[in-house]
Amino acid sequence: MPDTAIAEAPAKVATGGNLLQVRNLEAWYGESHILHGINFDVNAGEVVTLLGRNGAGKTTTLKSIMGIIGKRTGSVKFNNEEIIRATSDKIARMGIAFCPEERGIFASLDVRENLMLPPVVREGGLPLDQIFELFPNLKERLNSQGTKLSGGEQQMLAIARILRTGASFLMLDEPTEGLAPVIIQQIGHTIARLKKEGFTILLVEQNFRFASTVADRYYVVEHGKIIDGFSNAELAANMDKLHTYLGV
């Protein structure tokens, strides 16, 4: 296993203008110590992908940034403001939005209610007509129960509802998991479009072939640490290493 110094990983790829700065982030689920000092940066307007095997700590990293892990230490700065001790509702109101791996569609709400659920936290969110332009399926199914949608439609709904809120920094946890290739392609187009619109995106993916179509930079997470990082231009040169990291 390559033994890359974790502190070097962000320095190697970050280019300044940090929107998010994570330093020595540690997190626990009960007694289990999951994150052992995560360091990385995300610059405004970038799509950054966290890669890694199952159980490496990618989802926990997103949840720790979002403030929904019970115990966490270290430093997470968003727009230069420390948020490590903030509650998740305050973090959301600062402009960070989270789309969980399990999608989190509410069964007791219809599609319209699911879509309108997250409150607008600041100006600049996408208006509904633009959201329906991105996800035309949703418009046709507004009155269906949220969990009656197909897996792909649920994923679209999960992404769509956080675009309304005005959050500028989106964290998407494995948005392509379990989806058909044609839907994955559509989600890829959506992420590319969102990047053009000025959103900053932190993506967790196991499917690096998909990630390579949208990401500017990558970090590799293993055993609760960032062990490597490179830009999309360096992807080809790092392919062998990446295969080793991900075990594919």
Partner 1 sequence: MQALYAQLLVGLINGSFYALLSLGLAVIFGMLNIINFAHGALYMMGAFVAYFLLNIGGINYWWALLLAPIIVGIFGMILERTMLQWLTGLDHLYGLLLTFGIALIVQGVFQNYFGSSGLPYAIPDQLRGGMNLGFMFLPVYRGWVVVFSLIVCLATWFLIEKTQLGAYLRAATENPTLVRAFGINVPRMITLTYGLGVGLAALAGVLSAPINQVRPLMGADLIIVVFAVVVIGGMGSIMGSIITGFALGVIEGLTKYFYPEASNTVVFVLMVLVLLVKPTGLTGRAA
CB atoms within 10 A of CB 237: 10
CB of 211 to partner 1, least distance (A): 23
88 touches partner 1 (CB under 8 A):
yes
Q: Which is nearer to partner 1, 88 or 232 (CB)?
A: 88
CA distance 64 to 58: 10
3-state secondary structure of 59: helix
119 touches partner 1 (CB under 8 A):
yes
68 touches partner 1 (CB under 8 A):
yes
CB of 162 to partner 1, least distance (A): 8
Given 14, 121, 138, 215, the residue binding partner 1 (CB under 8 A)? 121
Token look-up 């992420």 returns 191
CA distance 32 to 12: 30
165 touches partner 1 (CB under 8 A):
yes
Helix H or strand E segment including 164: none
Report strand pairing: 47-51 vs 217-222: parallel
Q: Which is nearer to partner 1, 145 or 231 (CB)?
A: 145
The strand order across the sheet containing 96-99 reads 96-99, 169-173, 200-205, 47-51, 217-222, 225-231
3-state secondary structure of 2: coil
Given 45, 77, 101, 113, the residue binding partner 1 (CB under 8 A)? 113
Q: Which residues are paired to 81 by β-bridges?
A: 78
93 touches partner 1 (CB under 8 A):
yes
Part in contact with partner 1 (CB under 8 A); list of ranges 19-27, 44-52, 117-125, 228-236: 117-125
Part in contact with partner 1 (CB under 8 A); list of ranges 5-13, 66-74, 125-133, 234-242: 66-74
Part in contact with partner 1 (CB under 8 A); list of ranges 28-36, 92-100, 193-201, 224-232: 92-100
CB of 194 to partner 1, least distance (A): 18
CB of 84 to partner 1, least distance (A): 16
DSSP 47-110: EEEEE--TTSSHHHHHHHHHT-SSEEEEEEEETTEE-TTS-HHHHHHTTEEEE-TT----TTSB
Q: Which is nearer to partner 1, 95 or 229 (CB)?
A: 95
85 touches partner 1 (CB under 8 A):
no
Residues that bind partner 1 (CB under 8 A): 66-68, 87-89, 91-93, 97-98, 100, 104, 106-109, 113, 116-119, 121, 162, 165
